[in-house]
């Protein structure tokens, strides 16, 4: 089932109204799409919603579809902010366009890449998908910053994320290179890690730039 963009937006608005704001239905007048828009027909055609007395109500199938639509929207927002570094209105704008591409498994890939985020940049919850439940079941932490490791935990360096070239080179000179094994020896008052047979102490500003895989 592939819905039009407008139909997806109506579903999202309905889901927010019902699930997060506690309403029972959505008033098309408040939505900005007049009630005679073909998108409503599309949704009723797929038996996702029904319209009674001019108000839009979920059908059970629609509720699930709405949840996945909102999930794609909020994942898109996270992607804009975390990876593409687009913030504010620009980010929201792009996310609105981008979300419609996140179907047929793309959402799972993005969700895994973002390490199954739980909230959108505005602090609203992202409904978990199957991939999130699987990850949780396997206890797979994925790629995390070194600051999330426990003392004594060992892992493999996945990547260094920093905009500062000097920081990058310093870390590389310490042997912090993707693929190397790293042991977090201690995390307070400073981070101490071991790569090979050398130990280094760094502060949390540097430690949070090192991403490791368990």
Partner 1 sequence: MATGCGKQAEAPGKSPNIKRVALVGNPNVGKSVLFNALTGSYVTVSNYPGTSVEVSRGHAVINDQSWEVIDTPGMYSIHTITEEERVAREILLHETPDVVLHVLDARNLERMLAMTLQLIEAGLPVILVVNIMDEAERMGLTFDLELLRQRLGIPVIGAATTRKRGLDEIRSAIVAYRHDPENPPHFAYSRLLEHDINEVAGLMVGEYILSRRALALLLLQQDEEITALVRRREGEGFAVIAEKVREIAFNRRGSFHLDLSLERKDIVKKLILGVFTSPEKRVVTWAERLSCMSVRPLTGIPLLLIVLYFGLYKFVGDFGAGTLVDILEQKLFVGIFNPWITGVVKMIIPWEVIQELFVGEYGIITLGIRYAVGIILPIVATFFIFFSFLEDTGYFPRLALLVDRIFKRFGLTGRAVIPMVLGFGCDTMATMVTRTLETTRERVIATVLLSLTIPCSAQLGVILALLSKFPGALAVWGTCLLLLFVVVGLLAARIMPGEAPMFYMELPPMRLPQISNVLTKTYTRMQWYFLEILPLFVLASILLWLGKITGFFGKLITAMTPVMASIGLPRETAVAFIFGFFRRDYGAAGLYELQTKGLMDARQLTVAAVTLTLFIPCVAQFLIMKKERGWKVAGGIGVFVSLLAFGSGYVLNQFLLMTRLLS
Q: Where along the sequence are the contacts to partner 1 (CB under 8 A)?
A: 160, 165-175, 177-180, 185-186, 188-190, 192, 195-203, 205-206
Q: What's the first-to-final CA gap in the chain, in angstroms?
A: 38
**Are 55 and 49 within 8 A, CB to CB?**
no
- Min dist CB 79 to partner 1, Å, is 18
- Min dist CB 121 to partner 1, Å, is 24
Task: Compare residues 94 and 167 and give the one whose CB is closer to partner 1.
Answer: 167
Task: Compare residues 62 and 155 and give the one whose CB is closer to partner 1.
Answer: 155
Task: Compare residues 2 and 150 and give the one whose CB is closer to partner 1.
Answer: 150
- Min dist CB 82 to partner 1, Å, is 16
- Min dist CB 107 to partner 1, Å, is 26
Task: Compare residues 108 and 160 and give the one whose CB is closer to partner 1.
Answer: 160
- Cα–Cα dist 184/205, whole Å: 15
- Min dist CB 150 to partner 1, Å, is 15
Task: Compare residues 102 and 202 and give the one whose CB is closer to partner 1.
Answer: 202
Q: At what angle do helices 5-15 and 60-78 cross, to 10 degrees?
A: 100
**Are 54 and 35 within 8 A, CB to CB?**
yes
Task: Compare residues 134 and 154 and give the one whose CB is closer to partner 1.
Answer: 154
CA-derived radius of gyration, the chain: 22
- Min dist CB 167 to partner 1, Å, is 7
């Amino acid at each position: 089932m592939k819905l039009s963009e407008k139909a997806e937006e109506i579903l999202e608005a309905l889901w927010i109204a019902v699930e997060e704001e506690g309403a029972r239905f959505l008033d098309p007048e408040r939505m900005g799409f007049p009630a005679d828009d073909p998108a409503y027909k599309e949704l009723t055609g797929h038996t996702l919603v029904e319209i009674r007395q001019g108000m839009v109500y979920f059908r059970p199938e629609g509720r699930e579809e709405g949840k996945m639509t909102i999930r794609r929207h909020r994942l898109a927002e996270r992607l804009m902010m975390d990876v593409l570094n687009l913030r504010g209105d620009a980010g929201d704008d792009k996310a609105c366009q981008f979300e419609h591409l996140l179907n047929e498994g793309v959402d799972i890939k993005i969700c895994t890449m973002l390490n199954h985020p739980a909230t959108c940049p505005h602090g609203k919850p992202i409904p978990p998908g199957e991939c999130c439940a699987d990850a949780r079941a396997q206890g797979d932490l994925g790629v995390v910053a070194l600051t999330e490791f426990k003392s004594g935990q060992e892992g493999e360096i996945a990547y260094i994320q920093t905009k500062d070239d000097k920081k990058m080179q310093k870390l590389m000179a310490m042997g912090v290179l993707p693929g190397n094994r790293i042991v977090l020896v201690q995390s307070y008052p400073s981070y101490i890690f071991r790569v090979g047979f050398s130990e280094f102490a760094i502060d949390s500003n540097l430690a949070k730039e090192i991403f490791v895989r368990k």
